[in-house]
Structure 1
Amino acid sequence: MTGYERPVLSVKHLNKQYGRGCLKCVNKASLLKNYCPSCGTVYACQDISFDVHPGEVVGIVGESGSGKSTLMKCLYFDQEVTDGEAYISVYENGEKNLFQQSAQQKRYIRNNVMGKVYQNPLLGLKMDFSSIGNIAEKLISAGNRHVKMMESRGIELLDKVNIPVHRRKEAPKKFSGGMQQRVQIAKALSNNPPLLLLDEVTTGLDLSVQASVLDLIKELQRELNISIVLVSHDLSVIRMLADRTFVMLEGKVIEEGLTDQILEDPQASYTQQLVHSML
């Protein structure tokens, strides 16, 4: 990564709130953490801005309820933002705000220039389709109609994520959690997106399975030079994969920097607690 390359993803002043807000919470001064006791509005993401550069892995860490998964849902259009901007360099030359695109264009962006791996494989896979059928579905959504090409691409990707040849026609519902995540990764990569979103991808997996999934992600990221936004509450995952890290608390980014710097010399008291809990 060089300093002069334009970002793959640029996010500016992203806000997401649940509720309409009221006069008491309009300036956020009366909030209880990120919640307004008067009207019940939750400010899940507050003024989030960051860039992701080519081949960079950006980690976002924070406790449950910090807003990190909401941020990922907004970036992949699983939820609408309240306001803010996001630009991807390969879409319309990085000049059009993704959040203001039509539903059709958002589908195009999801299918062609982004991939997402969900914490819960039920959200990312059709459990009754075959594994190779899941990959074909993503390719078809992007406009591919060539059956032989889709089959060879599916075989190539399942091989890359270490799904045995004889199981590629099996449905993911028959697979272990770790194998389901590997099929999700293959599906997310099917159209060679420049950007991959990973949301708590190892949560709930056994430690040995976690390690193999993380090794796979690291290997694929190096091989494909793909940019990744990685959300986790687990600092050991962030340490292993992320070049830079953002720490979120109550909907805000409270600290950011190189991952080594954040883990070795945390400045915010919350980050210090997080790092100490890991030791």
Structure 2
Amino acid sequence: MHEQPILCVRNLNKQFGGGCQDCRETSTRKLERNYCSTCGTVYACQDISLELFPGEILGIVGESGSGKSTMMQCLYFDEPVTSGDAYIHDVELEGQNVFNLSSQKKRYIRNHKYGMVYQNPVKGLKMNFSTIGNIAEKQIAAGNRNVTTMERTGSELLENVHIPLFRAKEEPRNFSGGMQQRVQIAKALSNNPPILFLDEVTTGLDLSVQANVLDLIKRIQRESGISMIVVSHDLAVIRMLADRTIVMLNGAIIEQGLTDQIMEDPQHAYTQRLVYSLL
């Protein structure tokens, strides 16, 4: 790929705790997995660098506790980073480390440049709002005030994610898990963001429902050309969706490459175990 990445992350670090003499220095850090047993600091993300290209689906795979969801929360500004840089290739934001921007600017990015679909729909939806109201909320946050336009966009998006329009006024708490995820996807797409984050979106869903959600994600990507980062502990999900894959373990990237390449010739022992468990 010769084009410029739409998102470039450099040396993202996120720790929970202040650190001590045993763990503060990266080169001499003594950790059990990513935890310092002396002071209890957790190094959730250690020096994460990645690039996301236009129209690409980048998969992040790793077991529970590997840091992949924390990384996602940092990128979406749900969690402050300990250190690191992130740049969005965009006229208004060119050359600005988005982690250092004001909370107002970060809100602007969340409302216009990013979409987020959480593992738990409760985080992404207001369960006592109507479904179409949830989608409108995201549009209002981005400054849209035209009710007719919002209703039309909301209806189109619900049709797009296969939610029957006669249920548009219903609250998402009445919906199944798979339907709630589809409403979240519609909401995340309501401002045509160039970048979509999907965090463990099929976890806890029945296999047939999982397949529907994955098909939907593939179709949206194909039709809109949106760039996506997809986080999962399930390599089968990543294999179906991702062009390139990053493997994380204990807060660090241990392997990355084209998804096919990682599936066919995994280098790291942990990746090999992941791949062979699929076969």
Q: TM-score, normalised by structure 1?
A: 0.98
Question: Deviation at 1:26?
Answer: 1.5
CA contact (8 A) 1:55 1:225 kept: yes
- Give the match's secondary structure for 2:183: helix
Q: Deviations over 1:208-243 (max 9, x none)?
A: 000000000000000000000000000110000000
Report % sequence identity: 67
Question: Deviation at 1:94?
Answer: 2.5
Which aligned pairs between 1:256-267 and structure 2 lie closer than 5 A? Answer: 256-267=256-267
Which one is further off, 202-211 or 86-95?
Answer: 86-95
2:22 equivalent in structure 1: 24
Question: Deviation at 1:30?
Answer: 1.2
Counterpart CA distance in 2 for 1:140 and 1:111 is 9
Counterpart CA distance in 2 for 1:10 and 1:60 is 15
Counterpart CA distance in 2 for 1:197 and 1:91 is 21
Counterpart CA distance in 1 for 2:91 and 2:115 is 14
Q: Deviations over 1:117-140 (max 9, x none)?
A: 000000000001111000000000
- Give the match's secondary structure for 1:92: coil
Q: How many residues align?
A: 277
Which aligned pairs between 1:1-279 and structure 2 lie closer than 5 A? Answer: 3-28=1-26, 29-90=29-90, 92-279=92-279
Counterpart CA distance in 1 for 2:184 and 2:210 is 14
> What runs of 5+ residues in structure 1 fail to find an aligned partner?
none
Q: Deviations over 1:184-212 (max 9, x none)?
A: 00000000000000000000000000000
Question: Deviation at 1:91?
Answer: 5.7
Counterpart CA distance in 1 for 2:67 and 2:185 is 23
Counterpart CA distance in 2 for 1:93 and 1:6 is 14
Counterpart CA distance in 2 for 1:87 and 1:158 is 32
1:263 aligned partner, one-letter code: M
> What runs of 5+ residues in structure 2 fail to find an aligned partner?
none
1:35 aligned partner, one-letter code: Y
Counterpart CA distance in 2 for 1:103 and 1:93 is 14
1:139 aligned partner, one-letter code: Q
Counterpart CA distance in 2 for 1:124 and 1:88 is 23
CA contact (8 A) 1:91 1:113 kept: no
Q: Deviations over 1:142-192 (max 9, x none)?
A: 011111110101001001000001101111000000000000000000000
Counterpart CA distance in 2 for 1:70 and 1:219 is 27
CA contact (8 A) 1:88 1:94 kept: yes
Counterpart CA distance in 2 for 1:104 and 1:170 is 32
Counterpart CA distance in 2 for 1:202 and 1:165 is 23
Q: TM-score, normalised by structure 2?
A: 0.98
CA contact (8 A) 1:12 1:47 kept: yes
